[in-house]
Amino acid sequence: MKVVKWLGIAVLVFVGVIALALVVASVVYTPEYVYRVLVWQDSDAFDWQKFPNHPLSAAPAAYHFDEAPDPRVADLFAQLSAAEDWDSFLAANNTQAFIVIQDGKILYENYFNDTQRDSIVTSFSVAKSFTSALIGIAIEEGFIDSVDDSITTYLPELAQRDPRFNQITIRDVLLMASGLDYQEMRSVLFNGDDPLTTYYPDQRKITLENTHVIDAPGAYFQYNKYHPQMLGMILERATGMRVTDYLQTRLWDKIGMEYDGSWSTDSQASDFEKMETGVNARAIDFAKFGELYLHGGLWNGDQVVPAAWVDESTEPLLPDTYDDYYSDYVKAMPDQGYYTYMWWGMARPDGSYDFTAEGDKGQFIYVSPEKNLVIVRNGTSYGIPPHQWLELFNEFARQY
């Protein structure tokens, strides 16, 4: 009986400690944040249904790709993946949409797992590549002077907290080379940078108050989700517009997005775009963004994104300190991996290169300039290792 009594007391103490910890966390971080971390847990491809959002409207004049179906596409991908059937491979690996476009014509387009052409899919970190495009447009329009501007020109609160922020430029942030601390998870469930940049209901506040300089900028690449939040604040302060409205008028309308979309926001109260993940659209419209970059930012004679910006955003960045500069994830990419202005790239020995926007769960907009090719894949999970997708795309581009 004594054992049972002490066991009961131990359980009550344990429950009490957990309850106290949750109360403290709710006071420190807000109840909404604690709820999201505990209940929503890991992000999923249907986050767009959980968060509030700013709507994006279909373009007044929708653009439609010509179609030229080619069975060789599925045959070659099946061969490269050692699959008996490419469609079955895609469906089994949690794919929602898969599109291949060459010379402006759709060679392959198919949808899986209860998804169709007009189904919304999420971008995850593909949103960062949209953010990069908007920075380039804002520079071209004179709202931002240069990528060499200090971020504190637009976010002076950071310098008030630590003058070392003055040394960090917009370029450093675009390259994920700011020297800021970023630890995906820490010892306490709620204070990891990954959950904070995903679920905290005031991203402006957490970005301005919870970022810390630990190294000189430019020394090394480190993936950091505070960076796109900083760029979003710079955009809204420099342009005087919501980021969604800037995307709508400067890019969405101009390249003929066929469907409505949205940009998820951190909360109704804060109403700030989730710059790191939150663009929600249809796969065919994501393909148009890839096609825009394939053609150097030019769309039907209109220079939507400056050509020099597209080049600077996607060309190989291979410093002499490559092995020390890049993370293992980059170094494991096909050919020679690199990262530029929120685009990933793969440099070949002959000087050619492919580049891709990439998001969690296997969202890709893959561009091969040499083959005039765009590949889009969306899914609810990677299904296969991330680099295996890149290897498939890369090898397809070589052989097709």
13 has pLDDT over 50: no
This prediction has a pTM of: 0.94
Question: Which neighbouring-strand residues pair with 121?
Answer: 281
Classify residue 387 by burial, with Cβ atoms within 10 Å: 0-12, 13-18, 19+.
middle
Tokens standing for residue 66: 């010509």
pLDDT for 188 equals 78
pLDDT for 189 equals 81
pLDDT for 4 equals 54
Q: What is the three-class DSSP state of 14?
A: helix
- Let me know: does 123 contact 287? Beta carbons within 8 Å: no
At 255, the amino acid letter reads I
Those residues whose C-beta lies under 8 Å from the C-beta of residue 72, and which sit 6 or more positions away, are 400
pLDDT for 5 equals 56
CA angle 307, 246, 136 (to 5 degrees): 25
Q: Mean of the pLDDT values across residues 30-47?
A: 96
pLDDT for 14 equals 43
CA 148, CA 173: separation in Å to the nearest integer? 10
Going by DSSP bridges, is the β-strand pair 261-264/53-56 parallel, antiparallel, or unpaired? antiparallel
How far is CA 58 from its chain centroid?
21
Going by DSSP bridges, is the β-strand pair 261-264/373-379 parallel, antiparallel, or unpaired? unpaired
CA 336, CA 81: separation in Å to the nearest integer? 21
Tokens standing for residue 75: 């045959």
Q: What are residue 170's phi and psi, to 5 degrees?
A: -60, -40
- Let me know: does 94 contact 383? Beta carbons within 8 Å: yes
Q: Among candidates 108, 110, 170, 109, which has minimal Cα distance to 139? A: 170
Contacts for 348-353: CB closer than 8 Å, 24+ residues apart: 353/314, 353/315, 353/316
Sign of CA pseudo-dihedral 341, 346, 352, 354: negative
Lowest mean pLDDT, pick from 21-30, 106-115, 334-343 = 21-30
pLDDT for 162 equals 98
Q: Mean of the pLDDT values across residues 169-185?
A: 97
pLDDT for 2 equals 58
Q: Among candidates 82, 102, 101, 104, which has minimal Cα distance to 93? A: 82
pLDDT for 6 equals 52
Beta strands, E only, 115-203 = 121-122
CA angle 341, 261, 123 (to 5 degrees): 40
At 81, the amino acid letter reads S
pLDDT for 64 equals 98
DSSP-derived secondary structure letter, 163:
G
Tokens standing for residue 60: 């007044």
Mean pLDDT of the chain: 94
* Residue whose token pair is 């240069």: 146
Q: What is the three-class DSSP state of 363?
A: strand
Choice between 16 and 226, residue whose per-residue pLDDT is larger: 226
pLDDT for 8 equals 55
- Strand order from edge to edge, sheet including 105-111: 66-67, 105-111, 95-102, 373-379, 363-368, 353-359, 344-347, 336-339
CA distances to 136, 162, 194, 312, 337 from 308, rounded to whole Å, are 9, 33, 33, 6, 21
What are the tens digits of pLDDT across the range 346-378?
Answer: 999 999 999 999 999 999 999 999 999 999 999
DSSP-derived secondary structure letter, 251:
I
CA 151, CA 171: separation in Å to the nearest integer? 9
15 has pLDDT over 70: no
Question: Which neighbouring-strand residues pair with 131?
Answer: none
Residue 289: band (very low, low, confident or very high) from pLDDT cuts 50, 70, 90: very high
Residue 29: band (very low, low, confident or very high) from pLDDT cuts 50, 70, 90: confident
18 has pLDDT over 60: no
